[in-house]
Structure 1
C-alpha cells in the first residue's frame, strides 16, 4: 500500500459525522507500530458495519489517512493518531489516499457481514481436489495395466 510500481493512487477529502459508535473504522500504523515496513503512515484496518464510514461508503480498508481536520498524520505515533481521532469533534474531515489497483487480487469494499462475491478459495480448492483425485486414479489404473 505504499504506492510502488503498478499502483495508481487517488486522494480524496471525506467528511464524516461521528455516529453513536464513533467514526466507524479502526486504524493501524504510526512511527511506533508500522503497518508496512519503512512506512510510518496511518491506514484504515477495518470498516465497521453500520458505522459512519460504512454508511458514507467512500473510505475503504487499506486507505492511507493523510490528515484529520487539516492536521498531518505522517510521522505520528499510533497513540497520538488515536487521540487526534477521538478529539476531532462530531464533524471530521479526512484527507485519504486510495489505491486504485488491487495489490494481490480483489479488494473488499463491503462492511463486515455484507454479502459479496464468491471467494477464490471456494472455487480453487474443490478444483484442486478434483485434479489430484484424477491424477491418483490415472496412476492406479496404469499400475493395473
Structure 2
C-alpha cells in the first residue's frame, strides 16, 4: 500500500461527534495484539448502545478501521491507536473497511467459519482405518 486509500464499495467514511460516553465503541488488534490471523489491523469489537457510533448506525462489530482523522492505523500498536482515539477531538473521521471475511483469533459474538485442519483429516482417516481393520477381522472369523 502506498499510503493512500482509494474509494471502494467496501470502504466507508464515517464522521462521528464524540458524545458524553466517547465515540461509543471498543477496538481490538494492533501489531502487538493481533486479533485477525495474518492481519495486525484495528477492528471494532463492540458497539455501545446509545453511543455516537450506535446512533450513526454505519459502524458495525467486525469492521476494520483503516484511518482516523487521516492517520493510517497500519502497523500501529494497540495502545498507540487507543491514544489516537483519545486525542482525536470532538469530531472524528474514520475510514472503515466493512466486515472483512477472515478468521478471528479472539472471541466473537458469532462463531467464525470452521475450516477443518490437517489433524482433523488425519483423525478421520485413522478412525476409518480402524473401522476397516475391525471389519477385516470380523470377515476373517466368519469365513
TM-score range, shorter chain: 0.5 to 0.7
Superposed displacement of residue 99, structure 1: 2.9
Q: Structure 2 matches for 1:33-112, cutoff 5 A? A: 33-99=33-99
Q: For each residue in 1:6-58, what CA deviation from the matched residue of structure 2 results, as whole angstroms up to 9, or x when unmatched?
A: xxx70010000000000000000000000012111000000000000000000
CA distance in structure 1 between the aligned counterparts of 2:101 and 2:63, rounded to whole angstroms: 12
Structure 1 residues not aligned, in runs of 5+: 1-8, 109-145
> Structure 1 residues 31, 100: closer, same or farther in 2, change over 3 A?
closer
Q: TM-score, normalised by structure 2?
A: 0.63
Question: 1:131 — aligned with what?
Answer: none
> Structure 1 residues 100, 27: closer, same or farther in 2, change over 3 A?
closer
Q: For each residue in 1:97-117, what CA deviation from the matched residue of structure 2 results, as whole angstroms up to 9, or x when unmatched?
A: 0038798xxxx8xxxxxxxxx
> Structure 1 residues 77, 88: closer, same or farther in 2, change over 3 A?
same
Q: Stretches of 4+ moved more than 4 A in 1?
A: 100-103
Question: 1:111 — aligned with what?
Answer: none
Q: TM-score, normalised by structure 1?
A: 0.63
- For the residue of structure 2 that corresponds to 1:99, the secondary structure is coil
CA distance in structure 1 between the aligned counterparts of 2:82 and 2:102, rounded to whole angstroms: 27
Answering whether residue 53 of structure 2 is matched by residue 21 of structure 1, we say no
What's the C-alpha RMSD, in Å, of the aligned pairs? 2.2
Structure 2 residues not aligned, in runs of 5+: 1-8, 104-108, 110-143
Question: What is the aligned residue count?
Answer: 97
CA distance in structure 2 between the aligned counterparts of 1:64 and 1:101, rounded to whole angstroms: 11
